[in-house]
Structure 1
Amino acid sequence: MAAHIGRRLRKGAATTAVAAAAVAALSASQAPGATGEDHGRQATAGASVPVPDPTGDDATGNSPYYTDLPPLNSPDPSPSPSAGTPVAQGAAEAGIPATVLDAYKKAEAELRSSKPGCNLPWQLLAAIGKVESGQARGGEVDAAGTTLRPILGPVLDGHGFALIKDTDHGAYDGNAQYDQAVGPMQFIPSTWAWAGRDGNGDGKKDPNNIYDAALAAGHYLCRGDRDLSQAADLHRAILGYNDSQDYLNTVLSWMEYYSKGTYSVPDGTGAAPGRRSDDGTPRTAPSTPAAPAKPHRGKPGSKDQGGQKGPSPSPTPSKPGGNQDGGDPAPRPPGTPDPTTPTPAPTPTDTVDHLENAGTDTAKLTATAGEAFTGTISTRAETEAGAAVAKVRIRFTISGDTDATFTGGEDVATVATDGKGVAKAPALQAGEKTGDFKVTATVVGRSLKGVDYQATVTERAADTLTAVTDGDTPPTCVPGGEFAGQIQVKATYEGAVADKVAATVTLVKSATDATENDKGPYFKDATTGSTVRTLTGLKTDDKGLLTLPKLYADDTTGTFLLRVTTPGGGTLTLQLTVAPDGTATASPSPSPSAPATS
């Protein structure tokens, strides 16, 4: 399969050979159980061994997913079945509920703007939405995109599934003891806490809303510097969502299927999901069109048992860990162990007593606006006795008033500790807002005290300013007139172009008195046209050039000084003369101030 996927994808569309390879591999494989171990997947024959997600975290907690495969026949992009006529599976599977499809496409558009290098195709979101929730149970959403019934995964209590203790006090999943995957894109609360987005502009980040969930999934898949048109990054992103080779193959199959053509169907009429990865039912790819899937009643605690098309006449929220559509047997109360299953052994996370700074040089946690930090933040997980704890997820969270981020534009990153118990945060990138901020390291799934790291973003600087002349006649003016041309200054720092550097321009009283002059040349306020002799908020362009607004003169004649200063010590004083005969000039003073050392 790697040979097929290796070529560059266009807008996320893989080749037909990829789909065929994925379907063949899935048809030959057995349905996997829930993947509670981070590295328990097996490579399917004919498929390349995927690269694990580097963060040690995943969106769903490796919860079960729907294993239905797309039909082998290509979808019809514009079916028009008459009323009451059954729709063949091939046509039905190609239809995506209108609101759900709109959410995927809007998420793609936002990522195209915010992270153009990621090349996220909406068909990838549709494929993940299909295997995670059957496109929100066939589009059971309201006009705002919020699910009519909660979509909850099984209780992640370590009994048949991963063990993830409560991280949200039950705020998202209603379970204050263990986490459960939530919503149409099945985010676990600990991931949604940092990956959540407001996709519909209502001011909330709701995992049960398809617009919010789709946008969050897009940003989650685009973490770091991933380019999803590259096979390796595409695989890594999908496995980061659910760490299973079979999951990867299934998503790729649906992504290819949707890439060949799809269409919008009314909300609530989408094809219902059927088989799940923990059903124990062998998966086979349908070779001929089939009738619509029949209503399906799943096991207690499944992610989504809704098999009917359209919203339930009386939707009833499910209880955490219970059967979402009702039915026997009665579900276990949240967090109640199955008496037939032994209590799971403590996980590495359970053994962590505290976190320590693992040699971070705080002196290097300072960077100029727009530049990368040279220092690296490292944290060590230890037992009470001080022993290192490996394979523990450490979450690094940026807080403060700056716009600093980790590489890739995120303000949260989750990294697994190595064999020495150390987790290294991704590189920090300074934004344009200056000031102090904090990076906090915490243990995912535990309420232990975190470790704080203070960092600072300083303003851009220029240590040398020079006047730019082009050999033309310098600006001239008579009393009450307007200087010809505009003064231009070039800024550099340690010999390099200093771009986006803030500058202050003042018409000063004298070389030794930097206070603002109350007469002579002046600028005009852009809004009111009033006299201004001090300008702030100016910045050099990407070539380090600063072009001043037009200068005007009042009726006072004589020689005047204009001074330009920048952070970093850059200073330039220009001499201006206003004379009745029009011989005024704007030129550097004979002895411009020497550049100060930053």
Structure 2
Amino acid sequence: MAAHFGSRLRKGAANTAVAAVAVAAMAASQAPGTAAESGRGVDSQSASDTDAHGTGEDSATGNSLYYTDLPPLNSPVESSAPSAGPTTGTSGTTGDSESGIPATVLDAYQKAAAEIRQSKPGCNLPWELLAAIGKVESGHASGGRVDAEGTTYSKILGPALDGNGFALIKDTDNGLYDGDSTYDRAVGPMQFIPSTWAWAGRDGNGDGVKDPNNVYDAALAAGHYLCRFDRDLSVQSDMNAAVLGYNNSQAYLSTVLSWYDYYRKDAHSIPDGTGTLPSHRSDEGSTPSPAPTSGPAKKPGKSPSGNKPGSGSSPGADPTPSQPSRPTPTPTPTPTDTVDHLTDGGTGELSAMAGDTFGRKVVVKAVTETGKAVPGVRVRFLISGDTDAAFSGGEIVATAVTDSTGKATAPALVAGEKTGYFQVRALVVGRTVSGVDYPATVTERRADTLVRVGDAPPACVPGGEFAGQIVVKATYQGAVADGVAATATLVKAADNPSEAGSGPYFKDAAGNVVRTLTGLRTDAGGLLSLPKLYADDTAGTFLLRITTAGGATVTVELQVEAATPSPTPSPTPSSSPSSDGAS
């Protein structure tokens, strides 16, 4: 939440309860597709999506503070197409000031949703959901206090996650994002904690930097975060799970969905810096850590009356009786607290062909300083490097909990089309201890067998063209080998793979003679159909050699010979008058 948390009105814990009742009443009146949709409730999340210990370490926000203000009960009339442009007028509906979204912030929400429609079309992410979360998390970047590039004028920071009313999340970024080297804090317009931003951060404005304080970066990161695990947000249960993964609270879910429904009915652009700031927080009535401030902390000094700090306000006043100090209970160590480091749990070599699933999974073991296994520890696995490989489900990050033997197993790795090396890093969630790095390799697709389809011998007369096309089929270990690179060359001889200087040839796009074709690739069925072949004036037997990645080879014999002329029939002798006839 924003740095001005501490100055906001506190109205007691009852506010959250009132909000929940109001949202329930609102949801009951909503059309299908909202939280009140018949037969659909909040489902349980995937084990890799929730924090089993309730610490918030695997949520986007660390389950930090959020605003509980609700949209007006007198909702605006639903419009067929909410304004998406940077207009600044009023919409002419009830609650107009609440439905206004600062122009730059609105643009960031909509551009993030548009990008995700391209990269993850099955997610069906509505920009109004990003707007609802942005409203609840930061009041749309403190009412749109952002510059032209979308970066907030000052950092929006939540309170220290020191376990005092919130999760206990010790510093993971050395204060890089949140300025706190002791505890983590939620940061930016979408309130990411540093440990989540480290893998979920995105560059939404194309400046080459992933900045949680930039609304374009933060909105795009939030969109990808919500769309994890192949979710379809047009399904209410998936939307509920996504929002709960952002901040694991039923009251939070209800508040976000109320704003989502509100923005679906009306939303319009207003000038930056003019947005309405929420005033109620989820911690009202509790005693959280002091909110951060933008200025330096005050130094101890004299009180306004001139007395020393802690003294009475006037001479002769009775001193305030001291209260006996209560012993601070020693917290019971969690499994995470006892972990000294991670070690390999029997992973083995990680290698796969492009497009294939790796045959082995990454397995790590959490151990104490003495080597004792530690069960119940959350481990995060992160893919890094120039690769399009991902875990099953399409994500580059996954979490798992160590079992009774202290081992945690990552989801299966799936190779992309980029060949080369990348890395999988395993780290303990919520603890800075030694992790484990695993190198992985993606090799090009290959074939081990190549055969010609059809057995009619290719033949041609000098200067002519071969009938039909030569087709071959590639397989690998008996299975279809699709997408395999291949080369076709007219060679000089069976024992001389050099390109022939005469004989049959292909033509390039300009009609020039070509006797070597590169960049060929088998289709989905493992088939490769070569272009039409032509013959020059040289007669004889020629060889066409086709080779694939992986070493599979087939050689096809080509015949070029002059056509055998048809024999000319002998003339039939005609009968003639006998020479003995009378003259």
Q: TM-score band (shorter)?
A: 0.7 to 0.9
SS in 2 for 1:514: strand
Matches for 1:211-226 after TM superposition, within 5 Å: 211-226=216-231
Whichever residue aligns with residue 245 of structure 1, its letter is: Q
Equivalent residue number for residue 566 of structure 1? 548
Residue pair 1:53, 1:237 contacting (<8 A) in 2 also? no
In the alignment, structure 1 residue 185 sits paired with structure 2 residue 183? no
Residue pair 2:375, 2:406 contacting (<8 A) in 1 also? yes
Matches for 1:310-329 after TM superposition, within 5 Å: 318=294
SS in 2 for 1:168: coil
- Larger gyration radius, structure 1 or structure 2: 2
Return the offset for 1:378: 2.2
Instruction: Write the distance in 2 (CA, Å) between the matches of 1:447 and 1:406.
Output: 24
Equivalent residue number for residue 125 of structure 1? 130
Instruction: Write the distance in 1 (CA, Å) between the matches of 2:22 and 2:539.
Output: 83
Residue pair 1:195, 1:220 contacting (<8 A) in 2 also? yes
Return the offset for 1:448: 2.1
Residues 419 and 73 of structure 1: CA distance in aligned 2, closer, same or farther (over 3 Å) = farther
Q: Choose which of 109, 115, 120 in structure 1 pairs with 2:120.
A: 115
Q: Could you tell which deviates more after superposition, 373-382 or 204-213?
A: 373-382
Residue pair 1:159, 1:344 contacting (<8 A) in 2 also? no
Residues 68 and 52 of structure 1: CA distance in aligned 2, closer, same or farther (over 3 Å) = farther
How far does the alpha carbon of each residue in 1:277-328 deviate from its partner, in whole angstroms, 9 at most, with x for none?
A: 11229xxxxxxxxxxxxxxxx99416xxxxxxxxxxxxxx826999xxxxxx
Equivalent residue number for residue 236 of structure 2? 231
Instruction: Write the distance in 2 (CA, Å) between the matches of 1:344 and 1:537.
Output: 67
Equivalent residue number for residue 210 of structure 2? 205
In structure 1, stretches of 5+ residues that fail to align are 1-18, 28-45, 282-297, 303-316, 323-338, 584-598
Whichever residue aligns with residue 512 of structure 1, its letter is: D
Return the offset for 1:242: 0.9
Residues 344 and 493 of structure 1: CA distance in aligned 2, closer, same or farther (over 3 Å) = same
SS in 1 for 2:62: coil
Instruction: Write the distance in 2 (CA, Å) between the matches of 1:225 and 1:84.
Output: 39
Instruction: Write the distance in 2 (CA, Å) between the matches of 1:321 and 1:542.
Output: 66
SS in 2 for 1:395: strand
In the alignment, structure 1 residue 423 sits paired with structure 2 residue 408? yes
Equivalent residue number for residue 75 of structure 2? 74
SS in 1 for 2:384: strand
Q: Could you tell which deviates more after superposition, 545-554 or 462-471?
A: 462-471
Equivalent residue number for residue 7 of structure 2? none
Q: Choose which of 438, 442, 462 in structure 2 pairs with 1:478.
A: 462
SS in 2 for 1:93: helix
In the alignment, structure 1 residue 251 sits paired with structure 2 residue 256? yes
Instruction: Write the distance in 1 (CA, Å) between the matches of 2:169 and 2:495.
Output: 68
Matches for 1:331-350 after TM superposition, within 5 Å: 342=328, 345=331, 346-350=333-337
Residues 427 and 26 of structure 1: CA distance in aligned 2, closer, same or farther (over 3 Å) = farther
Instruction: Write the distance in 2 (CA, Å) between the matches of 1:372 and 1:190.
Output: 28
SS in 2 for 1:172: coil
Instruction: Write the distance in 2 (CA, Å) between the matches of 1:418 and 1:444.
Output: 15
Residue pair 1:22, 1:253 contacting (<8 A) in 2 also? no
Whichever residue aligns with residue 546 of structure 1, its letter is: L
Residue pair 2:458, 2:557 contacting (<8 A) in 1 also? no
Return the offset for 1:396: 1.2
Equivalent residue number for residue 37 of structure 2? none
Equivalent residue number for residue 379 of structure 2? 394
Instruction: Write the distance in 2 (CA, Å) between the matches of 1:84 and 1:372.
Output: 53
Residue pair 1:505, 1:536 contacting (<8 A) in 2 also? yes
SS in 2 for 1:248: helix
Residues 495 and 98 of structure 1: CA distance in aligned 2, closer, same or farther (over 3 Å) = same
Residue pair 1:476, 1:582 contacting (<8 A) in 2 also? no
Whichever residue aligns with residue 212 of structure 1, its letter is: D
Residue pair 2:452, 2:471 contacting (<8 A) in 1 also? yes
Whichever residue aligns with residue 353 of structure 1, its letter is: D
Instruction: Write the distance in 1 (CA, Å) between the matches of 2:336 and 2:184.
Output: 15
SS in 2 for 1:515: strand
Instruction: Write the distance in 1 (CA, Å) between the matches of 2:526 and 2:297.
Output: 60
Equivalent residue number for residue 286 of structure 1? none
Equivalent residue number for residue 37 of structure 1? none
How far does the alpha carbon of each residue in 1:523-580 deviate from its partner, in whole angstroms, 9 at most, with x for none?
A: 3455x76654333322112232223234444443322111112234432212223445
Residue pair 1:477, 1:484 contacting (<8 A) in 2 also? no
Instruction: Write the distance in 2 (CA, Å) between the matches of 1:446 and 1:531.
Output: 65
Matches for 1:56-71 after TM superposition, within 5 Å: 56=51, 57-71=58-72
Whichever residue aligns with residue 488 of structure 1, its letter is: V
How far does the alpha carbon of each residue in 1:170-229 deviate from its partner, in whole angstroms, 9 at most, with x for none?
A: 221122222111110011111111111111111111111111111111111111222222
Residue pair 1:154, 1:321 contacting (<8 A) in 2 also? no
Q: Choose which of 496, 511, 529 in structure 2 pairs with 1:513.
A: 496
Instruction: Write the distance in 2 (CA, Å) between the matches of 1:536 and 1:186.
Output: 51
Instruction: Write the distance in 2 (CA, Å) between the matches of 1:133 and 1:341.
Output: 37
Q: Choose which of 446, 467, 482 in structure 1 pairs with 2:452.
A: 467
Equivalent residue number for residue 441 of structure 2? 456
SS in 2 for 1:54: coil
SS in 2 for 1:509: strand
In structure 2, stretches of 5+ residues that fail to align are 1-18, 28-39, 52-57, 299-324, 566-583
Q: Choose which of 269, 272, 277 in structure 1 pairs with 2:282.
A: 277
Instruction: Write the distance in 1 (CA, Å) between the matches of 2:522 and 2:511.
Output: 23
Instruction: Write the distance in 2 (CA, Å) between the matches of 1:341 and 1:101.
Output: 50
Return the offset for 1:344: 7.1
Equivalent residue number for residue 153 of structure 2? 148
Identity of matched residues, %: 65
Q: Choose which of 163, 174, 178 in structure 1 pairs with 2:179.
A: 174
Q: Choose which of 107, 110, 113 in structure 2 pairs with 1:102.
A: 107
Whichever residue aligns with residue 414 of structure 2, its letter is: Q
Q: Could you tell which deviates more after superposition, 252-261 or 128-137?
A: 252-261
Residue pair 2:459, 2:558 contacting (<8 A) in 1 also? no
Return the offset for 1:268: 1.7
Equivalent residue number for residue 488 of structure 1? 471
> What is the RMSD computed on CA atoms of the aligned residues?
3.6
SS in 1 for 2:493: coil
SS in 1 for 2:497: coil
Residues 48 and 174 of structure 1: CA distance in aligned 2, closer, same or farther (over 3 Å) = closer
Residue pair 1:301, 1:321 contacting (<8 A) in 2 also? no
Residues 190 and 430 of structure 1: CA distance in aligned 2, closer, same or farther (over 3 Å) = same
Instruction: Write the distance in 1 (CA, Å) between the matches of 2:142 and 2:556.
Output: 71
Residue pair 2:366, 2:374 contacting (<8 A) in 1 also? yes
Equivalent residue number for residue 23 of structure 2? 23
Return the offset for 1:491: 2.5
Residues 504 and 24 of structure 1: CA distance in aligned 2, closer, same or farther (over 3 Å) = same
TM-score normalised over the length of structure 2: 0.75
In the alignment, structure 1 residue 504 sits paired with structure 2 residue 494? no
Residue pair 1:158, 1:344 contacting (<8 A) in 2 also? no
Equivalent residue number for residue 576 of structure 1? 558
TM-score normalised over the length of structure 1: 0.74
Matches for 1:293-304 after TM superposition, within 5 Å: 300-301=290-291
Whichever residue aligns with residue 403 of structure 1, its letter is: D
Instruction: Write the distance in 1 (CA, Å) between the matches of 2:343 and 2:446.
Output: 35
Residue pair 1:559, 1:576 contacting (<8 A) in 2 also? yes
Whichever residue aligns with residue 380 of structure 2, its letter is: R
Equivalent residue number for residue 343 of structure 2? 356
Instruction: Write the distance in 2 (CA, Å) between the matches of 1:435 and 1:213.
Output: 30
How far does the alpha carbon of each residue in 1:399-450 deviate from its partner, in whole angstroms, 9 at most, with x for none?
A: 3444321123222223343455432212211111233433221123433222
